[in-house]
Structure 1
Amino acid sequence: MQAQKVQTQKLDIAAIPVAGAAGDGMRVDIFDSMAPLEAEWRALEQDDLASFHQSYDWCAAWVETFRYPLAIVRGSFNGRTAFILPLEIIRSHGIRRAEFIGARHSNINTGLFSSEFLETAENGFSASQQAEIARALQGKADLMLLRNVPLDWRGRKSPLASMPAVENQNHAFQLPFLGAFEATLKQVNAKRRRKKFNHQSRLLNEKGGYEYVIAAPDQRDDLLDLFFRQKAVRFEAAGLPDVFQDAPTQAVLHRLLELGNKERSYAALEMHALRLKGEHEGHIPAVAALSRKGDHVICQFASIDEALVPEASPGELLFWLMIERLHREGAAVFDFGIGDQNYKRSWCPMETTQHDLILPVSGIGHAAAFAQRGMTRAKAAIKTNPQLYGLIQRLRARQSGKETSAAEAEKD
């Protein structure tokens, strides 16, 4: 990739206190390249509660593949970096939106903040500080739209929580890990959960058995390609667009397979699968991709193939095996990601509400922000009405020539 020209817009705001610290001046810089920020970016991402999706490596993979213009916001005071918001510019219907990099495939977004800023930012960004960020983005974006941001994450209030927000139509679901695996299971009915696992294992053992696979370097690309094929079948059956079908998205995900560091408990994308033995030797009925940053594990996506052994619920079995292993390895949270689906609720006692934060920048951005809030609220209303949502899913399925129910479309 050729080096990008770095352009920054610098605003000195000596009169505005940062996070309530009187006498401190705040400075906002806008960068159109990641490289100048790499050292401080990697330092900020060491925060355990900073989202994996704002890590430098994750963002670089999307930037170098899709090449959207960047508008990375860095805030600093007293010469020290306070925060980085890694944004790219997405143009749609004549509107330029500054969004988190790769947001279309993000499960949780937090931004990056220094410990010093977090300690003093109890009330988040002030109105005047938000206005300065908007001014810094003028000429580059019409609005800043930060999707899927939890206003409170694992006991920490986000500094972004003071921004204008609308609840995202999708919630996220997590399983916290307790001291003992049995205690963890008790959060979700341990007896029923273990009985189901034993039943699934018995069904597969009667057909020759199975093995839990964590893909080696020479296996992971093939396993990811298998996921693309399995998921395409599921999307088609549900009458839904395939969000993984475009070549650039697939290229990014293949690239992420190469990034990991066991010493730092970091994996950008790790492929897991259930593989059958005996009667159906070599068949893979379930695939999942996990990301890990510190003690937080996210299931980025998963797929199933119901051509064989659907009665054994191979996807559910794979989740048991992954969760059991990660508990042994010291993870603290298994995150099933966004989307309200029955299998997630069956595993998760923790439901996280996320918000979309909308900051208008230009005149047209104010109109776009109003429309965006209305559209998000409409989607949320539809998703909280099971009858209406089911009807829409069935209509989508009929349009594709299928009669797959919403439940079938979402159970993987």
Structure 2
Amino acid sequence: MQAQKVQTQKLDVAGMPIAAGLPGDTASTAAAKSVVRGGMSVEIFDSMAPLETEWRTLERDDLASLHQSYDWCAAWAETFRHPLAIIRGSFNGRTAFILPLEIIRMQGIRHAEFIGARHSNINTGLFSTEYLKTADSGLSPSQQAEIARALRGKTDLMVLRNVPLDWRGRKSPLASIPAVENQNRAFQLPFLGTFEATLKQVNAKRRRKKFKHQTRILNDKGGYDHIIAAPDQRDALLDLFFQQKAVRFEAAGLPDVFQDAPTQTALHRLLALRNGEGSYAALEMHALRLKGEHEGHIPAIAALSRKGDHVICQFASIDEALVPEASPGELLFCLMIERFHRQGVALFDFGIGDQGYKRSWCPTETTQHDLILPISRIGHVAAFAQRGVTRAKTAIKAHPRLYGFLQRLRARQGGSDASAEEAEKD
């Protein structure tokens, strides 16, 4: 494959700084509810700002999810304005972990969830290196009880969705919280030393043959460009994605999880969040742009996030009216994957949701869990119901026809409150 050259800066993964515990006296205790038991202090903050300095330190950990980074959370929190319940756990005045949660009321029950969780592909929380070295068994029952005590009065139930209990060789400190397997899996393509070795994981010969076929079709029509949107192009390309995806959802009879204005506003805010080194981009818009016969038209779009050596495809769309015989969506993935391999990325993540094109690219499949900690009396009942709902979704998804029927029924009834992973994410 020969992808279009893009100027990039090589990422030195080995040299990335790792988070360490910081003194806990930088936060304003006026905005926090605190519980201290057995040397561990648990504080609940209703705003992000008092924790910014230590939060940004903890997020430098390469295995901490981009979805818990300060800027990502701020974009969602400042748009949706849900009440916040940000948990900081400290030992001897040193921050051990931060769990950035928001309170969402559903059917009369207050849920404490990761900020923006309905559009997150993976959640890990934030932990100091010091805590990770000493927390082999994860949060102990007494520490979980302390978190529950600190949250009392603010929420009925803590639900941490899409948490891998083991992520890239590290066991999650959250794995000790009672869990139920999430109905969706995530799919990844690990990058090996050479691009050829990487492709061999997914049938290199077939991939190269198909790439040549696709490029020949498009070159016969005038050619194409792989574009990475410049600052003055990002918003327009994201709006085009919303249009393309709405058509796809309607054709499939599925609820449009991107249609509400706050979600679109939050995603637009993410476009500007990136660092100068290229190792962090909250949302980067890629597209295939045609030349010649279809000059300027966009048949495929993808939005990627990058944190350190991990790239996630957050969402993608295609225009089925344009060159479908060339499979433009798959061609765009080929170009993006080759580009990021040159940049030293270690893992290309297709995100959650089981679709055929993901399985064709991904030799690695990650099981995620929903962690459920009841807080109030009604929360204990809700926790039981939550586990049942998740298990029911898992059972339904094992029967594609039944799942498709229920999705179409939800769409006809105007159900737009589904999470992104519950709808088509191609």
TM-score bin, normalised by smaller chain = over 0.9
Q: Distance in 2 between matches of 1:320 and 1:219?
A: 22
Note the C-alpha offset of 1:393: 5.0
Deviations 1:210-269, CA, capped at 9 Å, x for gaps: 110000111111000000000011111111111111111111111111111141511011
Q: Which residue in 1 is equivalent to 2:37? A: 13
**Which AA in structure 1 matches 2:84?**
L
Q: Within 5 Å, give how 1:87-106 maps onto structure 2.
A: 87-106=101-120
Q: Within 5 Å, give how 1:12-411 maps onto structure 2.
A: 12-14=36-38, 25-263=39-277, 265-392=279-406, 410=424
**Which AA in structure 2 matches 1:146?**
L
Q: Distance in 2 between matches of 1:148 and 1:96?
A: 19
Q: Distance in 2 between matches of 1:224 and 1:380?
A: 31
* Range that drifts further, 316-325 or 246-255: 246-255
Contact kept in structure 1, 2:44 and 2:86, CA below 8 Å? yes
Contact kept in structure 2, 1:287 and 1:315, CA below 8 Å? yes
- Structure 1 unaligned residues grouped into runs of 5+: 15-24, 401-408
Deviations 1:299-330, CA, capped at 9 Å, x for gaps: 01100001121111100000000000000001
Q: Distance in 1 between matches of 2:409 and 2:107?
A: 26
Secondary structure class of the residue paired with 1:125:
coil
Normalization by structure 1: what TM-score?
0.92
Secondary structure class of the residue paired with 1:12:
strand
Deviations 1:149-184, CA, capped at 9 Å, x for gaps: 000000000000011000000000000000000000
Contact kept in structure 2, 1:89 and 1:96, CA below 8 Å? yes
Deviations 1:28-49, CA, capped at 9 Å, x for gaps: 0000010000000000000000
- Deviation beyond 6 Å, 4+ runs, structure 1: 396-400
Q: Distance in 2 between matches of 1:181 and 1:285?
A: 26
Report how many residues are paired.
Answer: 391
**Which AA in structure 1 matches 2:129?**
S
**Which AA in structure 1 matches 2:57?**
A
* Range that drifts further, 141-150 or 246-255: 246-255
Q: Distance in 2 between matches of 1:176 and 1:63?
A: 32
Secondary structure class of the residue paired with 1:352:
strand
Q: Distance in 1 between matches of 2:263 and 2:157?
A: 25
Note the C-alpha offset of 1:383: 1.1
Secondary structure class of the residue paired with 1:353:
strand
Q: Distance in 2 between matches of 1:397 and 1:88?
A: 27
Q: Distance in 2 between matches of 1:129 and 1:381?
A: 33
* Range that drifts further, 354-363 or 381-390: 381-390
Deviations 1:69-109, CA, capped at 9 Å, x for gaps: 00000000011000000000001111000000000100000
Contact kept in structure 2, 1:238 and 1:393, CA below 8 Å? no
Higher relative contact order (CA 8 A, sep 6+): 2
- Structure 2 unaligned residues grouped into runs of 5+: 1-27, 415-422
Q: Let me know the Cα RMSD of the aligned residues.
A: 1.7
Q: Distance in 1 between matches of 2:289 and 2:405?
A: 36
Contact kept in structure 1, 2:315 and 2:425, CA below 8 Å? no
Normalization by structure 2: what TM-score?
0.89
Q: Distance in 1 between matches of 2:112 and 2:210?
A: 45
Fraction of identical pairs, as percent: 82
Q: Distance in 1 between matches of 2:99 and 2:379?
A: 19
Contact kept in structure 2, 1:210 and 1:277, CA below 8 Å? yes
Contact kept in structure 2, 1:6 and 1:32, CA below 8 Å? no
Q: Distance in 2 between matches of 1:317 and 1:95?
A: 45
**Which AA in structure 2 matches 1:229?**
Q
Q: Distance in 1 between matches of 2:275 and 2:211?
A: 31
Q: Distance in 1 between matches of 2:410 and 2:260?
A: 21
